[in-house]
Copies of this chain bind each other. A is one copy, B any other.
Amino acid sequence: MYRSYTCGELRSSDINKEVVLAGWVQRSRKMGGMTFIDLRDRYGITQLVFNEEVNPELCEQANKLGREYVIQIKGVVNERFNKNEHIPTGDIEIIVSELKVLNAASTPPFTIEDNTDGGEDIRMKYRYLDLRRNAVRSNLELRHKMTIEVRKFLDDLGFLEVETPILIGSTPEGARDFVVPSRMNPGQFYALPQSPQLFKQLLMVSGFDRYFQIAKCFRDEDLRADRQPEFTQIDCEMSFVDQEDVLSTFEGMAKHLFKSIRNIEITEQFPRMAWADAMKYYGSDKPDIRFDMRFVELMDIMKGHGFPVFDSAEYIGGICAEGAASYTRKQLDALTEFVKRPQIGAKGMVYARIEADGTVKSSVDKFYTQEVLQQMKEAFGAKPGDLILILSGDDAMKTRKQLNELRLEMGSQLGLRDKNTFACLWIVDFPLFEWDEETGRFMAMHHPFTSPKPEDIELLDTDPGKVRANAYDMVINGVEVGGGSIRIHDSELQNKMFTLLGFTPERAQEQFGFLMDAFKFGAPPHGGLAYGLDRWVSLFAGLDSIRDCIAFPKNNSGRDVMTDAPAPLDPAQLEELNLTIGLDA
């Protein structure tokens, strides 16, 4: 062992001990014949002292050490004259008697500090240096702690962690698969799993009763800030349960994580919101309910008064931003620009201030009497000093989504989205299908194994669009942290689903034959849920992107810029796989 203590360990009770430490040179400074070095490792920082008078040679050596040199020292623990209250080792320092350079270091391309001078690109290229920063490493320590707690919680409840395969068959449903050519089966391919869905259902057929897995999943999608080609799910499934059992089990897990990781005790039940209400009141299936600011629909009040934009609208709705009547014209113009951005796509925005005397002053005053405007005010329950913002459009769903963006923006501007406040919510009663304009057919909103609500099964034949699913998502602070469903366990109902989803019997058999077969041998009722680990960690760490809680993430082109992967293959490797790049017509 190269050390007797770590750099985070020594305290005043250790004074006068002879110790050996090893670590990285964080910084050094000379002061009146003394050289002070901050020695860093994962566990902390300890101050080393070299005295020019006592040992000029050693001090000279110390003066030559550069940032990030790896050194080993021997010395005696001494009480510090100027104590540092900001670090746990701040009461002591080491009077060094021996120094050994274990490895020299070139000057790093950015500073290894919480507030580094390195930009995103250079930090990704030298990710191994970026990971030296406390801010990044602590995210991964949190991630480790969360998986320990997840496993503890589930193991205590009798869940078994079972590894399902990474090399599986490809299923064209859902997102695009990554595929792996099989050398031993020329012309054939494995796929990497988008989730262990089919295997966990098979484990229920096998009687495993309670399964979980912290599982790598893969999707070949065009990437966004919060997507990675590989990501990690806490994947769970239970038998002989209904929706209520699954919700209470995984609400329990969420509460356990809040308590064990963030020391937040949540005693009350999480609120539940029907999907239809979430869309109606928040324009989103993952509303951020840290703040209220619900949508109020205004068709009855505002339509038909001569304002052409509203008169031709299929939806008029708004939000009331408490206390924001003081917004300047410039701020309001900026909000209008915000909703008109192509990513949001609104045509414009109407606003109305509630004056101190209760009158309403709006941007469309010439079309509305004060009486109508007062009705509107009442609809919002608005008070003097509040600001009302209204959008309209010819497609209710689209307009609601625009209003959702505006609501979130206002929440941010008014400081209502504190990262250390957490608002948890279940979204339930999802539609089983959504209509796909492009293909002109119904698609599964979750996946084709989701069970309809028993009371809605009759509607499958008459009005499939109205069928609700036994499906649920958990949303925290506007982030979907997980979701799942009760599954179909009856092979006839499953076949009916495939038919409704446009599968021919042959294709259903080809794709999911083994699952259909399995269901014939006694499948128990079952259901489950998958939590996104990356998202949970980001949420608890207060990160804006999941990238910072992943040790070696990919960039937006799916590249690892550190190792420069992917890369062209050796031609011999391609030949062995019986593959050619490019198409020969």
A185-B559, A188-B568, A568-B187 given; A128·B205 CB < 8 A: yes
Kindly identify, within residues 108 to 158 of chain A, every residue whose CB is under 8 Å from any CB belonging to chain B: 108, 126-129, 131-132, 137, 140-141, 143-144, 147-148, 151, 155
Q: Mark A215-254, 1 if CB is under 8 A from B, else 0.
A: 0101010100000011010000000111001000000000
Q: A170: shortest Cβ distance to chain B, in Å? A: 6
Is B581 a contact partner of A579 (Cβ separation < 8 A)?
yes
> How far does the alpha carbon of A364 sit from the alpha carbon of B559 in the complex, in Å?
69
A interface, over-half SS: loop
Considering the complex, which residues of chain A in the window 541-566 have a beta carbon less than 8 Å from any beta carbon of chain B? 550-552, 554, 557-560, 562-566
CB <8 Å contact, B169 and A560: yes
- A180 touches which of B144, B180, B550, B568 (Cβ 8 Å): B180
Closest to A184 in B: B558
User: What is the minimal beta-carbon distance from A347 to any residue of chain B, in angstroms?
Assistant: 34
Is the beta-carbon distance between B166 and A216 smaller than 8 angstroms? yes
A373 at the interface (CB under 8 A from B): no
Question: Which residues of chain B have C-beta atoms less than 8 A from A177's C-beta?
Answer: 573
**A489 interface hit (Cβ, 8 Å):** yes
A66 to chain B: closest residue by CB: B522
Q: Are A108 and B521 in touch, CB under 8 angstroms?
A: yes
**Interface flags, A173-186, vs B, CB<8A=1, else 0:** 00011111111111
Say yes or no for A518: interface residue by CB 8 A criterion: yes
Is the beta-carbon distance between B581 and A170 smaller than 8 angstroms? no
Question: A551 to B131, Cβ gap below 8 A?
Answer: no
What residues of B have a CB within 8 angstroms of the CB of A216 in the complex?
163, 166, 216
Assess whether A192 is interfacial by the CB under 8 Å rule.
yes
Residues of B within 8 Å of A183, CB to CB, are: 176, 220
- The total of chain A residues at the interface (CB under 8 A) is 125
Cβ of A163: which chain B residues have Cβ within 8 Å of it? 143, 216, 232, 550-551
A518 CB → nearest B CB, Å:
5
Task: Contact check, B167 vs A105: say whether CB atoms are below 8 A apart.
Answer: no
Q: Which residue of B lies closest to A248 (CB)?
A: B1
Task: Specify the chain B residue showing the minimal Cβ separation from A210.
Answer: B42
Are the CB atoms of B566 and A190 closer together than 8 Å?
A: yes
Q: Which residue of B lies closest to A208 (CB)?
A: B42
| A69 partner residues in chain B, CB cutoff 8 A | 522
B151 adjacent to A206 (CB under 8 Å): no
A223 (CB) vs chain B CBs: closest residue:
B184
Complex CA gap A141/B189 in Å reads: 31
Query: B1, B42, B140, B579: which contacts A579 (Cβ < 8 A)?
Result: B579
Q: Contact at B577–A582, with CB atoms within 8 Å?
A: no
Interface centre among A179, A241, A584 (most CB of B within 10 A): A179
A161: CB under 8 A from chain B?
A: yes
A68 within 8 A of B: yes
In the assembled complex, the Cα of A161 lies from the Cα of B164 at a distance in Å of 20
By the criterion CB–CB under 8 Å, are A203 and B70 in contact? no
Q: Of B164, B180, B520, which one neighbours A192 at CB under 8 angstroms?
A: B180
Say if the beta carbon of A31 comes within 8 Å of chain B: no
Q: Does A421 contact B (CB under 8 A)?
A: no
A-B interface, 8 closest residue pairs, ranked by CB to CB distance from nearest: A169-B565, A105-B522, A131-B206, A2-B240, A188-B566, A182-B566, A68-B522, A42-B209
- Known A1-B242, A167-B230, A169-B567; further 8 A-B contacts with Cβ < 8 A: A70-B523, A167-B558, A168-B563, A176-B576, A179-B181, A180-B566, A191-B565, A578-B582
Would you list 10 pairs from A and B whose C-beta atoms are within 8 A, ordered by A residue? Answer: A2-B241, A127-B202, A131-B208, A140-B160, A167-B554, A169-B566, A170-B570, A189-B567, A202-B552, A584-B584
